[in-house]
């Protein structure tokens, strides 16, 4: 709005001319495809009926209540009121996903909101198309007949073309029929082709087609799409940001003045009446707790698909003789801004108050459960840090359990771990198996889960003597733990000799420099915990400067222990 109506620096209609809405449509197609790639059927077992109800019965309730409120409060004709209600039915993955990352609701709530946001986007757009076609067709007097034909064609073409394209792309990927470096390019090109082809065969079926394509592809067996998903996720962030700027720049402020304070009434009806009723009706007889239903009722922000559809239909309806249609866009943006700002600012606190928020991801996944991993894990747990140790060696796991540590018996990079390793509250990984290859494999597996700077490895003895041509590439690995000269074997040897991991609190009189100088040859600094109980991991690449009040955890040998 600043670069558009405020300063006049951006005029999208003049800049893009006739390419504006084709570009918007293709961008929305990519956004929906990327979102549907995350829809795994096994994540929603037991919740499928809730999602189905939300996108059908719930959407119908929201549509009707919003349409009636718009007619009463704004004074729109019933045709435009029902069109606006259809446009704002969609919650939208473009705003749901970032909100879920911040709010961190439990898995049930997160999966329901994510599925609803992605699946309802094309269905909401389809509903808006049907209402639009009804408005246009009613002028010719054969609306119901045309609507039935339009609906059937859209669903048939969208589902069929999306499913066929997904199986085709899946076969290409499984059989490695194209070079690896062309996988992302091919998938993006195919998304464009499927959207355009479906839309050509049945107008407005493209969004449904790419959503079905993504859902089918995500659930095909033996099809690796991780790199495609990473690429599409980055592209979607760019497209979402661009679309919000371009579409918001087309809004004129006088239009906000025209709709006035009545828009606040519509926002209140949608947030406090339509959404709660639709959620409680849709979740009737489900195993969701009342607190979970309350949070789902509160989270329903509208996103870029609503803005794009409203912008597209406003122009067409104005040309068809509905001057009030020009207010569809500012009213839609008012609802988007209102729901996003209010809900994103409050949902985190409401989730915490209701007790349905996951703990912050401050815990550690420790790959390996040998004596080094167990000693470090036990010291961290005693300091209040949540840890999980994983190992395929039963003796190591058994000993870790006797030490009171949380464990996973198995390979953390296995498919079983993908389904059963609970990473709730876990935000970092320490690879300390004593095997460089196994450490590197774990780093590659969990880099996308936690981020490259939250994956750490403990160097092995053998790596100290390997030449460059035999060493693993550093770009496939995490930062090196503790010190460039510290190895797994060295710590294991010190532990066998009776060394212990001890914690020391710093003060103004006994600062970190004094702590280090007093014990120069007798300790290895491992971790630091600040006054806000945040864990800082000491690495070879990144030095930290602990302050007064921090706690330092170090491996201290027997002689140092006696002196202390």
- CATH number of the domain enclosing 487: 3.40.50.720
Q: Report which secondary-structure segment, H or E, holds 442.
A: helix 436-450
Per-residue pLDDT, 270: 92
Q: Sheet with 500-505: list strands edge to edge.
A: 500-505, 551-556, 523-529, 535-537
Rg (CA), the chain: 28
Nearest one of 324, 405, 416 to 370, comparing CA atoms? 405
Q: Report which secondary-structure segment, H or E, holds 106.
A: none
β partners of residue 556: 500, 523
The residues, ordered by sequence, that sit 6+ positions from 558 with a Cβ below 8 Å of its Cβ are: 497, 498, 499
Residues 466 and 331 in one domain: no
SS3 536: strand
Per-residue pLDDT, 138: 67
Nearest one of 58, 529, 26, 512 to 282, comparing CA atoms? 58
First to last CA, the chain: 63
Per-residue pLDDT, 48: 75
Looking at 331, 354, 377, which one is the last position of a domain?
A: 354
Looking at 354, 378, 409, which one is the last position of a domain?
A: 354
Tell me the pLDDT of the chain (564 aa) as tens digits: 889 888 889 888 888 888 888 888 888 788 778 777 776 776 656 667 888 888 888 989 999 999 999 999 988 888 889 989 988 887 766 678 778 878 888 878 888 888 888 777 767 777 777 777 677 666 555 666 777 777 778 888 888 999 999 999 998 888 888 888 888 888 889 999 999 999 898 877 887 888 888 888 888 887 777 777 777 777 877 888 888 888 888 888 777 777 778 889 999 999 999 999 999 999 888 888 999 999 999 998 887 778 877 887 787 777 777 777 888 888 888 898 899 889 989 998 999 899 888 777 778 899 988 888 998 999 889 888 889 999 988 988 999 999 889 988 888 888 778 777 777 778 888 888 888 888 888 888 888 778 878 888 888 866 665 555 556 656 666 778 887 778 888 888 888 888 888 888 888 888 888 877 765 556 788 888 888 888 888 887 777 788 888 888 888 876 544 544
* Alpha-carbon dihedral sign for residues 28, 29, 31, 36: positive
Q: What is the DSSP letter of 505?
A: E
Residues 385 and 325 in one domain: no
Residues 370 and 337 in one domain: no
Residues 157 and 272 in one domain: yes
The residues, ordered by sequence, that sit 6+ positions from 533 with a Cβ below 8 Å of its Cβ are: 384
Looking at 354, 385, 404, which one is the last position of a domain?
A: 354
Tokens encoding 409: 């018996």
Residues 451 and 477 in one domain: yes
Residues 328 and 369 in one domain: no
Residues 332 and 374 in one domain: no
pTM: 0.68
C-alpha distances out from residue 393 to 433, 435, 437, 442, 485, Å: 11, 13, 16, 16, 27
Nearest one of 270, 342, 338 to 65, comparing CA atoms? 270
β partners of residue 275: none
Q: Report which secondary-structure segment, H or E, holds 446.
A: helix 436-450
Residues 368 and 325 in one domain: no
C-alpha distances out from residue 253 to 1, 4, 256, 305, Å: 9, 10, 5, 21
Q: Report which secondary-structure segment, H or E, holds 394.
A: helix 394-402
Q: What is the DSSP letter of 471?
A: S
C-alpha distances out from residue 61 to 109, 270, 323, 435, 549, Å: 20, 11, 27, 58, 56
Distance CA 285, CA 267 (A): 29
Tokens encoding 306: 């609503």
Range of the domain at 152: 2-354
Residues 326 and 376 in one domain: no
How many structural domains does the chain have? 2
Question: Other CB atoms closer than 10 Å to residue 548's CB: what's the count?
Answer: 13
SS3 408: strand
Per-residue pLDDT, 564: 46
Question: Other CB atoms closer than 10 Å to residue 184's CB: what's the count?
Answer: 16
Residues 320 and 427 in one domain: no
Write the secondary structure of 303-358 as one string of H (helix), E (strand) and C (coil): CHHHHHHHHHHHHHHHHCCCHHHHHHHHHHHHHHHHHHHHHHHHHHHHHHHHCCEC
Give Dmax over CA atoms of the chain in angstroms: 96
Distance CA 423, CA 564 (A): 37
Residues 170 and 302 in one domain: yes
- Buried b / exposed e across 261-283, counting CB within 10 Å, b at 16+? ebbeebbebbbeebbbebbbebb
Residues 323 and 428 in one domain: no
């Amino acid at each position: 709005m600043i670069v558009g109506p405020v300063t006049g620096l951006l005029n999208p209609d003049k800049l893009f001319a006739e390419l504006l809405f084709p570009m918007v449509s293709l961008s929305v197609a990519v956004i929906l495809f990327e979102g549907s790639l995350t829809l795994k059927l096994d994540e929603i077992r037991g919740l499928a009926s809730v999602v189905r109800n939300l996108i059908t019965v719930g959407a119908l309730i929201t549509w009707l209540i919003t349409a009636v409120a718009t007619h009463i409060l704004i004074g729109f004709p019933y045709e435009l009121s029902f069109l606006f209600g259809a446009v704002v039915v969609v919650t939208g993955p473009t705003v749901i996903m970032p909100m879920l990352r911040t709010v961190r609701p439990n898995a049930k709530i997160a999966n329901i909101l994510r599925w609803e946001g992605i699946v309802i986007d094309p269905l909401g757009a389809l509903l808006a198309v049907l209402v639009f076609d009804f408005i246009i067709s009613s002028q010719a007097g054969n609306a119901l007949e045309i609507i039935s034909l339009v609906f059937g064609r859209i669903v048939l073409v969208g589902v069929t073309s999306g499913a066929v394209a997904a199986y085709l792309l899946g076969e290409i990927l499984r059989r490695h029929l194209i070079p690896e470096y062309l996988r992302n390019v091919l998938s993006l090109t195919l998304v464009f082709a499927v959207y355009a082809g479906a839309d050509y065969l049945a107008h407005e079926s493209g969004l449904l087609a790419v959503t079905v394509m993504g859902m089918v592809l995500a659930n095909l067996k033996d099809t690796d799409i991780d790199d495609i998903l990473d690429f599409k996720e980055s592209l979607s962030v760019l497209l979402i940001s661009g679309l919000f700027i371009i579409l918001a720049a087309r809004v004129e402020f006088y239009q906000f003045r025209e709709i006035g304070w009545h828009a606040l009434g519509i926002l209140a009806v949608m947030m406090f009446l339509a959404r709660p009723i639709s959620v409680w009706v849709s979740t009737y007889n489900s195993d969701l707790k009342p607190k979970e239903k309350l949070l789902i009722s509160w989270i329903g922000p509208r996103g870029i698909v609503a803005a794009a559809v409203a912008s597209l239909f406003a122009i067409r309806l104005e040309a068809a003789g509905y001057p009030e249609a020009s207010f569809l866009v500012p009213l839609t943006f008012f609802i988007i801004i209102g729901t996003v700002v209010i809900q994103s600012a409050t949902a985190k606190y409401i989730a915490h108050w209701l007790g349905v928020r996951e703990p912050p991801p401050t815990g550690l996944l420790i790959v390996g459960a040998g004596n080094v991993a167990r000693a470090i894990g036990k010291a961290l747990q005693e300091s209040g840090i949540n840890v999980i140790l994983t190992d395929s060696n039963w003796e190591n796991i058994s000993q870790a359990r006797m030490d009171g540590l949380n464990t996973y018996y198995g390979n953390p990079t296995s498919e079983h771990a993908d389904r059963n390793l609970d990473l709730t509250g876990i935000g970092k990984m320490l690879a300390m198996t004593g095997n460089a290859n196994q450490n590197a494999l774990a780093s590659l597996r969990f880099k996308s889960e936690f981020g490259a700077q939250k994956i750490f490895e403990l160097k092995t003895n053998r790596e100290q003597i390997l030449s460059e041509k035999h060493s693993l590439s550093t770009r496939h690995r995490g930062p090196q733990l503790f010190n460039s000269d510290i190895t797994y074997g060295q710590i294991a040897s010190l532990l066998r000799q009776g060394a212990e991991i001890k914690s020391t609190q710093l003060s103004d009189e006994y600062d970190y420099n004094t702590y280090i100088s007093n014990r120069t040859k007798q300790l290895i600094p491992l971790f630091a915990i600040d006054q806000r109980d945040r864990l800082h991991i000491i690495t070879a690449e990144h030095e930290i400067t602990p302050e007064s009040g921090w706690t330092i955890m170090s491996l201290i040998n027997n002689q140092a222990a006696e002196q202390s």
